[in-house]
């Protein structure tokens, strides 16, 4: 059996390659998979076969006969988990660097899902299917820190709603390139792209506020820092799939991206780098990494959005840590907040660059 999907090109799609365009229209189809379907004649344009290099025209009708996928069997694995909290509805996990959240091509085992299936003995929400049981949100392989995992569909629906209305507290800690001075020179946006992102300085009250205007339980000294005030700014720039490199996300226009807002608090600068605390108002793919890179301050060690040559030999992946996670319990309604201390490699970098060595989340 095959699932037939139909797409119609618009004027804004003129000139795009069909494989890139269709991948943007349906991200569940990878570009390489689309190319295979084109070769096998399962993708037609105006009822005619085309090549992967075909350029779209307004009004083109694309039909794709996508064979039913066969989900692989995901095996439970006895992998140690750092669990900060667990009850009958959910658990909060502190993910280490290098662990993939859910199985994918090239990472069929050793993932967080493999470990959860073993630990929970199959008691996980099934809303996101067999590949992502219990997974409401994810963090990248080389990002460390906190994730909430749902055991029941009831918990999953509640947490998904909180994510959708931006009421979940999510704070990340990162080391970025460059020093901040508190003026517009801190945002090194290319002139042609300046209209794509809006940055403005804000006070700490704005940084600390949640969406409903209340403060979270995190106070001004939550990170172990001691200062009268910090530089804070709000970055708003829509994020979508990169038009030529489909593995990357980028700041883009309204037609190709979704709203993305990141609040940033600069905690300290040293040796040409800055330590930042980022609060997510939205949660787009690679959001912090994309926004900071676009502003000219990429995350240290980022292999995708940072400089080709990392200034720290041996550093694997981006220096990004999900340090604070807060949400309302799906059953009791109680606000719960969890914190994860910076991992050893992160603290070692802070010491290496000359930052104060007393950071505790």
Domains, in order of start, for the chain: 2-67 (3.10.290.10), 83-164 (3.30.2350.10), 169-323+348-353 (3.30.2350)
pLDDT in tens, 191-222: 777 789 999 999 888 888 754 444 444 444 44
Distance CA 44, CA 24 (A): 17
149 and 93 Cβ atoms separated by less than 8 Å: yes
The residues annotated with a catalytic role in the active site are 140
Distance CA 348, CA 150 (A): 33
pLDDT in tens, 83-124: 999 999 999 999 999 999 988 777 789 999 999 999 999 799
Give the strand pairing for 144-150 and 320-328: parallel
Please name every residue paired with 175 in a beta bridge, in sequence order, or none if there are none.
275
Average pLDDT, the chain: 88
pLDDT level of residue 285 (50, 70, 90 thresholds): very high
3-state SS, one letter per residue, for the chain = CEEEEEEECCHHHCCCEHHHHHHHHCCCCCHHHHHHHHHCCCEEECCEECCCCCECCCCCEEEEEEECCCCCCCCCCCCCCCEEEECCCEEEEEECCCCCCCCECCECCCCHHHHHHHHHCCCCCCCCCCCCCCECCCCCCCCEEEEEEECCHHHHHHHHHHHHCCCCEEEEEEEEECCCCCCHHHCCCCHHHHHHCEEEEECHHHHHECCCCCECCCCCCCCCCCCCCCEEEEEECCEEECCCCCCCEEECCCCCCECCEEEEEEEEEECCEEEEEEEECCCCCCHHHHHHHHCCCCECCCCCCCCCCCCCCCCCCCCEEEEEEEEECCCCCCEEEEECCCCHHHHHHHHHHCCCCCCCC
Task: Calculate mean pLDDT across residues 166-173.
Answer: 95
pLDDT level of residue 78 (50, 70, 90 thresholds): very high
Q: Is the pLDDT of residue 223 over 90?
A: no
Q: CA separation (Å) from 172 to 94, 240, 319, 323?
A: 13, 21, 10, 5
Q: Closest Cα partner for 33 from 14, 46, 20?
A: 20
Distance CA 118, CA 76 (A): 4
pLDDT level of residue 33 (50, 70, 90 thresholds): confident
pLDDT in tens, 132-157: 899 999 999 999 999 999 999 999 99
């Amino acid at each position: 059996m095959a699932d037939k999907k139909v797409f119609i090109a618009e004027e804004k799609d003129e000139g795009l390659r069909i494989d890139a365009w269709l991948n943007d229209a349906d991200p569940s189809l990878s570009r390489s998979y689309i190319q295979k379907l084109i070769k096998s004649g399962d993708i037609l344009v105006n009822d005619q076969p085309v090549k992967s290099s075909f350029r779209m025209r307004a009004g083109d009708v694309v039909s794709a006969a996508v064979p039913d996928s066969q989900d692989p069997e995901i095996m439970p694995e006895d992998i140690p988990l750092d669990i900060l909290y667990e009850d009958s509805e959910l658990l909060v996990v502190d993910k280490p660097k290098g662990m993939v959240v859910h199985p994918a091509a090239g990472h069929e085992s050793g993932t967080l899902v493999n470990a959860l299936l073993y630990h929970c003995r199959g008691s996980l929400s099934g809303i996101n299917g067999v590949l992502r049981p219990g997974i409401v949100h994810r963090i990248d392989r080389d990002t460390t820190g906190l994730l909430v995992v749902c055991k029941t569909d009831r918990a999953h629906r509640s947490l998904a709603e909180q994510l959708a209305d931006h009421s979940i507290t999510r704070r990340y800690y990162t080391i970025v390139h460059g020093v901040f001075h508190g003026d517009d020179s801190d945002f090194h946006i290319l002139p042609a792209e300046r209209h794509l992102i809006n940055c403005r300085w804000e006070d700490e009250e704005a940084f600390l506020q949640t969406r409903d205007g209340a403060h979270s339980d995190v106070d001004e000294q939550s990170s172990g820092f001691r200062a009268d005030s910090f530089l804070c700014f709000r970055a708003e720039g829509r994020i979508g799939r990169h038009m030529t490199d489909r593995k990357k996300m980028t700041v883009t226009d309204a037609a190709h991206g979704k709203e993305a807002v990141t609040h940033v608090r600069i905690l300290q600068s040293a040796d040409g780098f800055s330590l930042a605390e980022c609060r997510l108002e939205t949660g787009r793919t690679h959001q912090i990494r994309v926004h900071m890179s676009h502003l000219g301050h990429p995350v240290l060690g980022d292999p995708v959005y940072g400089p080709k040559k990392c200034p720290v030999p041996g550093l694997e992946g981006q220096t990004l840590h999900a340090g604070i996670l807060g949400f309302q319990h799906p059953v009791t309604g109680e606000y719960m907040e969890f914190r994860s201390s910076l991992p050893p490699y992160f603290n070692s970098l802070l010491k290496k660059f000359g930052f104060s060595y007393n950071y505790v989340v």
